[in-house]
Chain A
Amino acid sequence: MEDPIYWPSLFFLLFAGIACAFAVAVVVSANIVRMAFYLVMSLAATAGLFFLAGADFVGAMQILIYVGGTLVLLVFGVMLTSQDRFISMKTSRFELGMAAGVGACLFLLLWFAAFSVPEWSRGLTRAEVNAVPLQPTATPIGMGLLGARVDGADSPDKAGYLLIFEIVSVHLLVVLIGAAFLARARYKRSTIVE
């Protein structure tokens, strides 16, 4: 039987609304830690959008990297560098104007990009949406890491490149750690004592 309300749309509006409202709150708020909290809510709602779209892997990635990792580091950094108990930021008029200009440009870019997709501008019917199967997202990525691409159906010219990509990124991490190791301040024991 057919539902009177199309639930995915409702949940999309819910998550999108939360994400947008908290994104505005990040801009409006003057307290850095509150900003971090609003950012967490906004990013978590975005993760909700990914889950809603059936992209479980990207959603979990969003939570782990953006919501978890980055924000813990952000809060950690803010608390170590702050001078006052509650840090508040005052934005000047000029900065606000500049930010508004850049934001408006990006928004226009996204607006035209979104409406250039033909299916999105005309709108899909429910039957069309249901015809697209929801597939597990982790398995294709795992197979991609092994060099098999599920979309390429084993044709030889479409070999996977994810493993190489991943190895390169791990190398980048090694380089970062090495740079931090080389650049750190070296105190000799005697200099600290004196």
Chain B
Amino acid sequence: MAEFLIDVGIWPWLAYTLAALVHIFLLVNLVAVGALLFIWMERKVSGRIQDRLGPTRVGGRFGWLQTLADGIKLLTKEDLMPEGADAFLFKLAPYVSFCASLAAFMAIPFAGGQHPFVALHLNVAVFFIIAVLGLEVFGVILAGYSSASKWSLFGAMREAAQVVSYEVPLGMCAVVPVLLAGSMDLVYIGDRQAGGFWNWYIFHDPFTFITFWVYFTCATASVNRAPFDLAEAESELVAGFHTEYSGLRWSFFFMAEYGSMMAVSLLASILFLGGWHGPIPIASVLGWTFEDGFWNGIAGNVLGTLNILLKGIIGVTVMMWVRWTLPRLRIDQVITTCLKYCVPIAAMTFLGATLWQYALPDKMFFGFLDVPAHTYQVAELWPETKSAATQPAASQRTASADTVRMD
């Protein structure tokens, strides 16, 4: 976007600032408004699962303004802090969580093609997102430690134990689509799965199918959702790490939680579920691709954005369904699940997917279909050798993946 503004003739510094502001405005609103929607949805889903109605009155028929009313209530609450608390860390912890959750969205693409909808087009996006989402834990641990409350400290210690157990299988599962696509660029991984649900990596072979479910389990653990919500554990630890928080600080933790739920769901949909490509290739049938013109491509990308947001929301809904269905695990059960079951399964599926790809390199959909021709056109650029690197290439990094797709 910044390059576009510079072409129009705005000063570069203003163009970059404007582009950054637009990006961050959209992403903050995705997280914040998303949290409003998801908290309302959580109430409705839990209500239906428990044979209740959930909120029905605020804002008309479905109680859809309930969260807004709650938000206003939270704003008017007194900002409490325990007497023995470490004031500096206590005040800082919610922001650490929220920043980590928001930073992950910077590298998530919402549509691909030659002009991907992404704030920061990183060629190591998968790696970056997993690294940054791991930082959210730090906010939780700081909150638990600085609250000077035994419930909070118990929550934080459980969280620290949980982190070391789920990070390993989560990383191993995310590697499988990277292996199949041959890149860590999420835009590229998403575009390799274009064309319909039979091209999605979840259906690539039996091993990736299993990998997806292991990934989803570990992702649920990574965002502290039941059955892995040990840091919170309302029935045992009052409210775990956020026992002592109230008002807006408390709501920051919740925005971070729902934000990272959305982030891991979006990551799952890009890695396994075709990203912005729908189950049926509507956009290419309608002619909404960049081959048919710039604005057609943008229209297709908008459709793709809706598509991936829908997939993300479905993923979050499944997490809610799981939360209100399964009982909470004990801490030793969490560690056993992650380390004794998920790690070996992930390792086996990783090996299996590698061998499958080696045996049937040109097959999709459990080996029944051929890889579509357009997949070969999407190829990552071979880096220039030193002899060729002398030519000036200022915008090399952003343009690297795009230049190849044009031919």
Contacts and interface: CB of A to CB of B under 8 A. Distances in A.
Contacts, number: 136
Interface string A142-163: 1100000011010000000000
Contact of B12 (A1, A73, A153): A1
B141 A72 contact: yes
Contacts of B84: 85
Contact of B89 (A3, A34, A67, A85): A34
A60 B124 contact: yes
Interface string A121-157: 0000000001111111111101100000011010000
Interface stretch (B129-137, B241-249, B302-310, B311-319): B129-137
A125 B83 CA distance: 56
A60 B128 contact: yes
Nearest to A71: B138
A12 interface: no
Contacts of A130: 392, 394
B122 interface: yes
A76 B385 CA distance: 45
Given A33-B145, A133-B384, A86 B86 contact: yes
Most buried by B among A37, A61, A150: A37
Contacts of B13: 3, 5, 7
B4 interface: no
B156 A79 contact: yes
A40 B156 contact: no
A63 interface: yes
B157 A79 contact: yes
Interface in B381-407: 381-387, 389-394, 396-397, 400
Nearest to B13: A3
25 contacts: A5-B13, A33-B145, A60-B127, A67-B135, A68-B134, A68-B138, A72-B138, A75-B141, A76-B161, A79-B141, A79-B157, A131-B390, A132-B389, A133-B394, A134-B393, A134-B394, A134-B396, A134-B397, A135-B396, A137-B123, A138-B127, A139-B380, A150-B384, A150-B385, A153-B387
Interface of B: 11-13, 16, 84, 86, 88-89, 92, 122-124, 127-128, 130-132, 134-135, 137-138, 141-142, 145-146, 148, 153, 156-157, 160-161, 163-164, 167, 182-185, 380-387, 389-394, 396-397, 400
A46 B146 CA distance: 26
Given A60-B127, A64-B130, A73-B164, A37 B397 contact: no
Main secondary structure of the interface of B (DSSP, over half): helix
Most buried by A among B153, B185, B397: B397
A139 B382 contact: yes
Interface of A: 1, 3, 5, 7, 31, 33-34, 37, 40, 54, 56-57, 59-61, 63-64, 67-69, 71-73, 75-76, 79-80, 85-86, 130-140, 142-143, 150-151, 153
A151 B131 CA distance: 28
B12 A56 contact: no
Most buried by B among A133, A142, A143, A153: A133
Contact of A133 (B12, B157, B167, B392): B392
A139 to B, nearest CB: 5
A37 B11 CA distance: 38
A127 B372 CA distance: 44
A33 B167 CA distance: 22
